[in-house]
Amino acid sequence: MAVLRGFAVLLALQIAGETIVRLTALPIPGPVVGLVLLAVALVSYRPIGEVVEPAGRLLLQHLSLLFVPAGVGVISHLERLEGRYLAILAVLGTSTLIGLAVTAWTLQALGPPAVQHRRDGDSDEPPEHGTAESSGAPPATREDDENSNASRVTGDG
Amino acid sequence: MDDRSLEVLWVYLSGSPLLSLMLTLVVYLFASALFERGRRHPLLNPVLWSILLLSACLWLAELPYDRYFEGAQFIHFLLGPATIALAVPLAREFDALRRRAVRIGLALAAGLVATTGSTLLLVHLTGLDRSTGLSIAPKSTTAPVAMGIADTIGGAPSLTAVFSVLTGVFGAVVAIPVLKALRIRDDSAKGFAIGLVAHGIGTARALQIGKRAGAYAGLSMALMAIVSAMLLPYVMAWFS
């Protein structure tokens, strides 16, 4: 059931994305607009994540598989490259390598991963867990504090 | 069973989605098992081998691609919801992303200029014709966006889809060894770079590194799609 609920939400977001694309003539595919919509929804209201998570995890675990049908179509179009194989492969390959190197270098050179940076560099914790805990736990305790303060106030009053 | 009934069976199977769906799954499972068995050697990339093996199957069975896709489209369709689901790992990194917004913007700009600039320069150097060049220019964006851009700037969308998928598969195959050789240790930089040059197919590879790499790959894929779609038509008009 959890997977189906998440899947329904994802499909609804895709419909929303496709609708926005058609109404505004945006040059972006509906699913990319849906991605932005879901990201905004998740950031403004975290619990949506639990609804989408089971279906999302299932789809992303096998994301590679989903590209296979389109990939097979590419093979049947390869003959259209005719005598230009070498030049085209050189362009695709070289520019991909250049882009990969420049992007990774830039982001790594500009700064270490955010968590280490924020903790002044001397944290020994693995960053992944650090983020999960620091983003999840503090708001919860703060809420608890507020609640207990509120009850104390009303109790005092 | 005589030849006649075999023929009837084949006509039925090749006309129904059953055969190509099952074939796609079986070949993909086989390619994945091969990848794991070969200790994830980059050249054993499951997407690459699934595509090659399935193409060989179709060729041997004389099954035209259109007929194959009638069944395989049920798998292809899931790309839409899967793309949207990339927002889940992305939102989990939101606090880190907000703090690094400027750095990520700079990395995006550097990556976009390096990728598109080197593509245009190489097209010029290799003496490829103008129409092919216009079809190659948007190759690092996800296929549907690339096709839309090609259409706008005067390339051939169907050829662009080929370039986009080839780029994605190439990027997914070479990414890990190349980034290792460059001593990129930060998973967020790895993921961001893979998603930027190799869009969705690269993002699928980045997700195998880990959730953080996958989140950054999804982010750079989406940013690349949005920014390229907005800027490339102007860049190409300016160049011509």
> Which DSSP string do the residues of chain A spell out, in sequence order?
-HHHHHHHHHHHHHHHHHHHHHHHT-SS-HHHHHHHHHHHHHHH-TTHHHHHHHHHHHHHHTHHHHTHHHHHHHHHHGGGGGGGHHHHHHHHHHHHHHHHHHHHHHHHHH-S-HHHHHTTT---S-HHHHHHHHHHHHHHHHHHHHHHHHHHHHHH-
Residue B185 has pLDDT above 80, yes or no: yes
Residue B82 has pLDDT above 90, yes or no: yes
> Residue A66: which of B52, B75, B84 has the nearest Cβ?
B75
Q: Which residues contact B20 (CB under 8 A, 6 or more apart)?
A: B63, B67, B68, B69, B70, B71, B72
Q: Would you call A76 an interface residue with chain B, using a CB distance cutoff of 8 Å?
A: yes
> Cβ distance B141 to B164 under 8 Å?
yes
A89 chain-B contacts, CB cut-off 8 A: 166
**ipTM of this predicted structure:** 0.89
From first to last of the 157 residues of chain A, give the pLDDT tens digit: 889 999 999 999 999 999 999 999 887 888 889 999 999 999 998 888 899 999 999 999 999 999 999 999 888 888 888 778 899 999 999 999 999 999 999 999 997 654 544 444 333 334 444 343 333 333 333 333 333 333 333 333 3
| B2 DSSP assignment | -
CA distance B213 to B193: 9
Q: Which residue has the higher pLDDT, A123 or B91?
A: B91
CA distance B142 to A23: 22
In this complex, do A68 and B52 lie within 8 Å of one another by their Cβ atoms?
no
A126 vs A113, A114, B61, B180, CA distance in Å? 11, 12, 51, 20
pLDDT-derived band at B6 (thresholds 50, 70, 90) equals: confident
CA distance B151 to A33: 20
Q: Would you call A110 an interface residue with chain B, using a CB distance cutoff of 8 Å?
A: yes
CA distance A76 to B232: 28
Tokens 């259209």 belong to which residue?
A80
Over residues B74-92, mean pLDDT: 91
> Cβ distance B169 to A70 under 8 Å?
no
> Residue B100: which of A39, A68, A111 has the nearest Cβ?
A111
pLDDT-derived band at B41 (thresholds 50, 70, 90) equals: very high
Q: Would you call A103 an interface residue with chain B, using a CB distance cutoff of 8 Å?
A: yes
- Over residues B115-174, the pLDDT tens digits come to 999 999 999 999 998 889 999 999 999 988 898 899 888 888 889 999 999 999 999 999
> Residue A63: which of B73, B162, B204 has the nearest Cβ?
B204
pLDDT given for residue A112 in this prediction = 66
* CA end-to-end span of chain B: 65
- Over residues B52-63, the pLDDT tens digits come to 999 999 999 989
Q: How far is B41 from chain A (nearest CA, A)?
A: 16
Dihedral (CA of B234, B86, A4, A58) sign: positive
Q: Would you call A59 an interface residue with chain B, using a CB distance cutoff of 8 Å?
A: yes
* Residue B175 parent element (H or E): helix B157-181
Q: How far is A123 from chain B (nearest CA, A)?
A: 16
Report the 10 Å Cβ neighbour count for A97: 18
Q: How far is B61 from chain A (nearest CA, A)?
A: 14
In this complex, do B210 and A38 lie within 8 Å of one another by their Cβ atoms?
no
CA distance B227 to B112: 9
In this complex, do A103 and B171 lie within 8 Å of one another by their Cβ atoms?
no
B75 chain-A contacts, CB cut-off 8 A: 65-66, 68-69
> Residue A114: which of B100, B161, B203 has the nearest Cβ?
B100
In this complex, do B145 and A75 lie within 8 Å of one another by their Cβ atoms?
no
Angle at A59 between CA A54 and CA A65, to 5 degrees: 155
